[in-house]
Chain A
Amino acid sequence: MMELLLDRYIYVLVLVLLAIGLYGVLVKGDLVKKVIGLTIFSTAIYLFFIEGSLQEGGTAPVLMPDPENPGEFLNDPLLYVDPLPHLLILTAIVVGVGVVGVALALLVRLYRTHGTLDEAVIADRLAGKAPDIPAADERRDAFDVEDAGDGDA
């Protein structure tokens, strides 16, 4: 059991990070902390992919010339690190940056109208439970702020 754990410690780390991220998104009351939780959650997924591509003793995925047969190449896949997960994760990171960008733009909008980022307070206000509801027309004034994040998809 212990050996399995030490052997696969990276998966345990990924699981722990996933759990921390989910906890942040679902339990924390502060919206910024939720976004941070989201980032931790996606980082755990990136880590999982990178770990999966690992090849003990492997090298960069560029075909090496075979020292014994000039003109031939070493095409044993065990010699190279799998490049595809790296590629996928680069794409996923770009996508993730886009999502976080949109999230931050929305947070800016919320903070400008409410002056707070506490989810419960904002939800109460929108439900009409708190007295100081901001004027309904403010959306048109703040309209040009929110599109900051749409260019990154």
Chain B
Amino acid sequence: MMMLLPLLFGAVIAVLAGLWRSAAAQVVAVITTASALVASVIGLVTVVADGPISYELGGWPPPIGIEYVLDPLSAYLAVIIALIGLLVTIYPVEAAFDLRPRKGVPLYPLVLLLLTGLMGVVLSGDLFHLFVFLEIYAISTYGLVSLGGDRGVFAALRYLLLGTIGSGLYLLGVGFLYFSTGTLNMADMATQLPAIADSPTVLGAMALIVIGLALKMALFPLHVWLPDAHSYSPPGVAALLAAVQVKAGAYGLIRILFDVFGPAYTGEGLPVSVALTYFGLAGIVVGSVLAIRQTDIKRMLAYSTVAQLGYIGVGIGLATPLALVGALLHVLNHAVMKSGLFLVAGGIIQRTGLKSIPRFSGLGMRMPLTMTGFAIMGLSMAGVPPTAGFFSKFYLVWGAIELGNWLVAIVVVSSSLLTVVYFLRLFERIFVAEPTEELVADATEPSPRVVGTVAVLAASVLAIGLFNVVIVREILMPIAERMLG
């Protein structure tokens, strides 16, 4: 609760501040996201040491009233959300949104509302409350995507149609569950579901919820809205969407499948885990192949998000502690890497206005610092060892081998090669080729704030890679073992 409040109040204050001075809104946004980050780090440390914290909204005790629960899993995601939110709000406004907002245009309030929604999704202990927060963040996303000009508006409308169907299916599934158990509280429902785990209503609810959230998470083949929404929205928005927004769907799947359904999910009733695994694999391959074919840098990054979400889907589908650790670590890694890559793309667009990869020749000489950060994150995407991206894939492959599922292991390993292909092509352009465009020859390093945010993200990619054992042992392994215990 103490993490949700600053963001919500921040959103309100930022509207007022934006009416006064447009720069003031950004200051408010930075302060609120920073305090949310501090609160969620404190929260994470506390819950890892002392166990979950629960807050009763309005003073009604849990099964009846709405409950906020902060357990290690939600605290872990809250830290990621607040961290990426802080970096995106620090990032200069012209580069992040590709425009200079007029006075009173609620840019930062929308960003804060998006973060509030995401925070609410990870904190909520109530299935219907989760739906409300899903819609809060979705509505602010539609507004933010539509900032990306004419194509952005069209992409936002298409995303709105599919996103609303996704949350509608989720709501329908929650309705099935409510009418068969008479409760909406996740913990309460988890105690009642095992007795009726095989009933068609519960299985139908599981199917509806999984489809709805997979649509929100853009898991292949429900990813059709993602490439347009992510490539036509402004770079800062794309960074937020790819880094944390789609992860809310992934969180919902993990929380509901493992914590609420538990035995019904891992049991025999419906082949949900098999479906998630193989659709995840298909997403990895299709996303990577389509990313190779793109020439627009943001579109390439958007298709690569489809592929990376496939890894998370595979981790959820395999449903072993190691694979789940891989998926959760990949949520963090992908958040850091992909937001970094989009922010670098924003820096390039701000300085040169270029989006097309063939025209990037020679940028490495002109923007050495930014491009080094880009290279680190690209290597991490491809899964080169000491970077973060290697370790999440490592845990996934390990989990797959443990199960004897060689197909998964082979696809995950060989898909790294596909990732290498599309990043090597970029690196060759950027670092080896001579500048051909005047725009590039005149380009300089983007502003210090751009370089600073990219440097923080690149450093955290390396730090997560080097210290992943600590993260896994202290936070992720206990989560995975408790969920699958």
Contacts and interface: CB of A to CB of B under 8 A. Distances in A.
A25 B161 CA distance: 7
Contacts, number: 109
A49 to B, nearest CB: 5
B105 A143 contact: yes
Contact of B146 (A49, A106, A140): A106
Interface size range of chain A in the complex: 35 or more
Interface in B171-185: 171-172, 175, 178-179, 184
Is chain B's interface secondary structure helix, strand, loop, or mixed overall?
Answer: helix
B139 A152 contact: yes
Interface string A95-136: 110110011001101100100000000110010000000101
A98 B139 contact: yes
A68 interface: no
Interface string A3-24: 0000000000000001000100
Interface stretch (B48-56, B149-157, B428-436, B476-484): B149-157
A31 B158 CA distance: 9
A140 B102 CA distance: 10
Contacts of B139: 98-99, 102, 149-150, 152-153
Interface string A79-97: 0000011001001100110
Contacts of B136: 153
B132 A102 contact: no
B62 interface: no
B171 A106 contact: no
Interface stretch (B106-114, B374-382, B443-451): B106-114
B128 interface: yes
Interface of B: 99, 102, 105-106, 109-110, 113, 117, 128, 131-132, 135-136, 138-140, 142-143, 146-147, 149-151, 153-154, 156-157, 160-161, 164-165, 168, 171-172, 175, 178-179, 184
21 contacts: A42-B164, A45-B175, A84-B178, A84-B184, A85-B175, A88-B128, A92-B131, A92-B171, A95-B135, A99-B135, A99-B138, A103-B160, A123-B154, A126-B154, A136-B150, A139-B149, A146-B146, A146-B153, A153-B117, A153-B135, A153-B139
Given A42-B164, A103-B161, A109-B153, 18 more contacts: A22-B165, A25-B165, A38-B161, A48-B172, A52-B175, A85-B175, A88-B128, A91-B128, A99-B138, A102-B160, A106-B146, A106-B160, A136-B150, A139-B99, A139-B149, A143-B102, A150-B106, A153-B135
